[in-house]
Structure 1
Amino acid sequence: MKRERVVLREGAVGLSIDAVAKEAGVSKATVMYDHKSKQDLLSDLISRLMSVEEERVQQAIAESNNTPHPALYGRIISASNALSHTERAVVLAVSASLANDTNIRDTMRSCTNKDLDEIKRGPKPDAAVLVYLALSGIYCQEFFDFYKWSPGERDKIIEGIRCLYESYPDKSE
């Protein structure tokens, strides 16, 4: 949480070993034990956020076990929860680091490929990919703080996305 507070207060540019040490009330050497550079701090922060999101999605998938496509419906359920102010702010602040860090891009690319592989294995893979892209669009709009839907608007959008999957013709028949 110390890194997140620094990023919220000062942006990704202000994230430094010194700033995190000061925020945590520890020595710079203590922070450097785990993070050798600012890029390590950013990479770790992004990895942690991705891990938290993956846990949230996996829990939603488990709760969607009785649906036609648990991997997809779990992602729909997960997307139905609006992002917190902290999540949006941190993602917005660190997104600039993606341009400079191939490791972070590779990690995110790997996660995307894993997601797509998983949803393509279920029924109606073409529809599942469309739904995944629609959910990604919502996330991008919110992550970059382009638009914030009211809870009612968001519910309608998520329901529409779910209906898109359900009404999409099954071309495997």
Structure 2
Amino acid sequence: MARPKSIDPQQVLDAAERVVAHVGAARLTLDAVAAEAGVSKASVVYDFGSKAGLIQAVVERAVERDNAFNREASQGFTRDAVLRGRIAAAAQPFPEAFQPVALALCAAMAQDPQLRAPIQRNQAEILAEIQSSAQQPRSALLAYLALEGLKLLESLDYVQWPAEQRAQLLQDISALVDAPPPAN
């Protein structure tokens, strides 16, 4: 009979995020993650295989968390629920503590197409879902692009909107969802 697993992979991923926030993804080491998580390096290797596998798992977990957060925000919307949920979710900016992690992961993804793959798949799925369920697909696409642009500018720390202005921008993006599509 196999021994029950005593190391929580989520605990290791939490530790990996802390290390990434502190030193960046490029300088992350399995030793540093193991020490931060209070586990052996062998345990980290057993669960994630390599540094690349660990960083991949951090990215995939971030995608899963973001999707869950947005799905929850979409509850209660009947029309264009996917997009309206994402707009509602954006009313809460990224947690400040996650920003260094997001920046470091973006830098790592710029260098590694395999790390970008989960984000690319996720974006393709979101775009397809928005397009297939929107009453005004072209307008919904423009709204989504505006929303993601706002979020990207913030997550890369290029712009931090004052709360009132940010709320107005989200309201304007929301209005795009119902707007007639632009003329060709």
Give the TM-score normalised by structure 1: 0.91
- Counterpart AA for 2:104: A
Post-superposition CA distance 1:23-73 (Å, at most 9, x none):
0111111111112211111100010111000001111122323xx311111
Tell whether 2:48 aligns with 1:35: yes
Cα distance in structure 2, aligned partners of 1:17 and 1:125: 45
After the TM superposition, which residues 47-62 of structure 1 pair with which residues of structure 2 at under 5 Å, given as runs? 47-62=60-75
In structure 1, stretches of 5+ residues that fail to align are none
Task: Give the structure 1 partner of residue 15 of structure 2.
Answer: 2
Query: Secondary structure of 2:69's partner?
Result: helix
1:162 Cα deviation after fit = 0.8
For residue 92 of structure 1, the aligned residue among 88, 103, 110 is 103
For residue 154 of structure 1, the aligned residue among 166, 171, 177 is 166
After the TM superposition, which residues 12-161 of structure 1 pair with which residues of structure 2 at under 5 Å, given as runs? 12-65=25-78, 68-121=79-132, 122-161=134-173
Cα distance in structure 2, aligned partners of 1:161 and 1:138: 10
Cα distance in structure 2, aligned partners of 1:32 and 1:78: 35
Moved more, 101-110 or 147-156: 101-110
Task: Give the structure 1 partner of residue 180 of structure 2.
Answer: 169
- Counterpart AA for 1:49: A
- Counterpart AA for 2:159: Y
Cα distance in structure 1, aligned partners of 2:48 and 2:71: 28
- Counterpart AA for 1:69: D
Cα distance in structure 1, aligned partners of 2:150 and 2:181: 25
Cα distance in structure 1, aligned partners of 2:76 and 2:17: 29
Aligned 8 A contact 2:87 2:147 in 1:
yes
User: In angstroms, what is the RMSD of aligned CA positions?
Assistant: 1.4
Moved more, 119-128 or 9-18: 9-18
1:170 Cα deviation after fit = 5.5
Query: Secondary structure of 2:75's partner?
Result: helix
1:150 Cα deviation after fit = 1.8
Cα distance in structure 1, aligned partners of 2:87 and 2:115: 25
In structure 2, stretches of 5+ residues that fail to align are 1-13
- Counterpart AA for 1:115: I
Give the TM-score normalised by structure 2: 0.86
Aligned residues: 168
